[in-house]
Structures are given as structure tokens and as C-alpha cells.
Amino acid sequence: MSRTRPEFEPITAGRSGALAIRAVGKTHHIDGQPLEVLRDVSLDIGPGEFVSIVGASGCGKSTLLRLIVGLDNDYQGEIRLDDRRILSTSLDRGIVFQDHRLFPWMTVEENVAVALDRRPLGREAKKKLVAESLALVNLSGFEGAYPHQLSGGMAQRAAIARALINEPKVLLLDEPFGALDALTRLKLQTELQALRRRNQGTMLMVTHDVEEALYLADRVVIMQGGPGRIARIVPVPFPHPRDRGSAAFARLKDEILAELMREPELGSAQVTILSQDRRR
């Protein structure tokens, strides 16, 4: 299943990738004014699971991912990866940001290689890893291109290659295809699904696109804003490859959309998690 790479031990070898988010709250400050962005968010994600988060713009999805990846540790509650508290960034958590965030002054190859800065590998070994990672996202042949020479889809692929090169236990994806046209988006969804079969890491993806969430995820987490909290968690029972056109698929999509459209009741921070989804 996994790529054979006998000479390098993947840094994540022997670990599983279970994510435990417990009663997480986060308050941002805008101009000195506190703004509660997340309240009492709890979520358990099993090793190798693919979870999607959907929710209105501004409900704190990116904020949550920043906490998980370790870019911000000023929050209440705790987040654990395989029982170890997350206190800062680590190579066993990768992230693909909403914008690709490739460095414009580096070629694709150099952009991906940056992720290997802390790996004690020789020049040749790094080159090989970069080539493999680019092949994985179908970008072979574009090693020397600069980001401004890539299409949006290609840039996002490069960002995925950079995030995957260290074989993180958890890959976080923040609306990775949000800025792409519908066709490219479908294509990359299929590619991501294929990638997932080869890479056994845990994945947590934020998206605006309910169909995308249903196509890829094992469970869909519906978030509600003001302050951001989990409204519902919906398991997706369909086997892969999924048929976007099936009636059951459409029904589940409508159900989630209806939930998203529901106005949050003012003053109520009640969390309704379907009992069968509570995994503890």
C-alpha cells in the first residue's frame, strides 16, 4: 500500500494519528475588543479517518485548523495527537492553506524542498523525495516552474506535495480547492481520494462545498457561527468510489444544506451532536 522507501524511515512511522479535540475555545481580539470565535468544540478523529468540516464563512474553521496545526496555542481546552498535547507546530502535522502560500521566489521544486529543511537527509535523498512527492500530485515536469507560471490547480497541487512530503500523521486542508473552477475541483477531488488510498494519514478538510465533503469524507462536521461550535456530525455511509448522482447522496446533501441554512438560535450555544456520533 504505502510507497516503498526502505532507505528512509518515515518520521511518522509507528504512530497512528488519532486527534482528540477537547472543549476547545478561542477568543480573538480585534482592536482590543474580544471576539469569541470558538466555543466548546470537541471532536475525536480516528487514525486514518477523513473528516470534513462545513460551515458558514467566519464561523472559525480556519481558526480551528490553525490551533490544530500548532500555529496558535493561546486557547482554552486541549488538543491531543496520539495522546500528546499539541503545543506548537510539528512535522507530523501538515497543512494546505486556503491560499497556496508557495513562495513566489522559489521554483516548485524548491518550494516543496523547503518542507525538508529540518530532515537530516542528504541532498540526493531530498531530491528524490521531492521528485516522488511531485509525481504523487501529477506535477512531474514542472519542477523548475515558478508559482506565477502555474495554474491555480497546479499551485494547489504543489502545496499538497509540500504538505505530504514529510508523511504527516495528520493532514489539514483548509478549503484547498475553494478558489478553483468546478472542473479542476472535481479532478482534484478524485486525485485527493486516490492519494488518500496510498497515504494512510488522518485527514481533516474544511470546505464550503457540501458535495465535496460528502464525496471525500467519512464524517461531515457541521459548524455554526457566533461563536463557532459544532452543530452536528453526520457519518457518510457510502463506499468509495462514491456516486455523486445517487439518490442517497443527494438526500444527505440536502439534509446537510438544510442544517447549514438554519439560523442559529440567538443566545443559544447548545450543541446537538447525534448520540451515535459521539465517539469516546
Partner 1 sequence: MLKVLRSLRSIALSWSGIATLLLAWWLNTRLGLFPPQVLAPPERVAAAFVAGVRSGDLARNLVASLSVLAAGYVIGATLGVAFGVAMARSRTIESYTSGLFHAIRQVPTIAFIPMLVLMFGIEATFKIVVVGKASFYPAALAAYTAVQGLPRRYFDVADVYRLSPLARLRHVILPASLPPVLTGLRLSLSRAWVALVAAELLVADRGIGQMMELGRQTFRLDVVLMGVVLIGAIGFLLDRGFKRVERLLVRGAPA
Ligand X SMILES: Nc1ncnc2c1ncn2[C@@H]1O[C@H](COP(=O)(O)OP(=O)(O)OP(=O)(O)O)[C@@H](O)[C@H]1O
Residues at the interface with ligand X (CB under 6 A): 28, 30, 35, 37, 57-63
Instruction: Give whole-number Cα distances, 38 to 18, 148, 216, 239, in Å.
Output: 21, 35, 25, 32
Alpha helices in the chain (DSSP H): 61-69, 108-113, 123-136, 152-164, 182-198, 210-216, 247-261
> Which residues in the 30-69 window bind Mg ion by CB under 5 A?
62
The reply on whether position 86 binds partner 1 by CB under 8 A is no
52 binds, among ligand X, partner 1, Mg ion, none (CB under 5 to 8 A by kind): none
Q: Cell for 247? A: 439518490
Please state, in angstroms and rounded to a whole number, the distance separating the CA atoms of residues 35 and 243. Answer: 41
Q: How far is the CB of 222 from ligand X (least distance, A)?
A: 12
Q: Shortest distance, CB of residue 66 to partner 1, whole angstroms?
A: 8
In one-letter notation, the amino acid at residue 260 is L
Minimum Å gap between C-beta 226 and Mg ion is 15
* Residues contacting partner 1: total by CB under 8 A: 25
Which whole-number Å values give the CA distances from 84 to 89, 171, 193, 262, 279, in the listed order?
Answer: 13, 17, 28, 36, 19
CB of 211 to Mg ion, least distance (A): 18
Q: Are 89 and 66 in contact (CB under 8 A)?
A: no
Contacting partner 1 (CB under 8 A), which of 11, 56, 91, 257? Answer: 91
133 with 110: CB under 8 angstroms? no
Residue of the chain from 11, 56, 106, 186 that contacts partner 1 (CB under 8 A): 106
**Interface positions with Mg ion (CB under 5 A):** 62
**Interface positions with partner 1 (CB under 8 A):** 69-71, 88-91, 93-95, 97, 99, 101, 103-107, 114-115, 117-118, 146-148
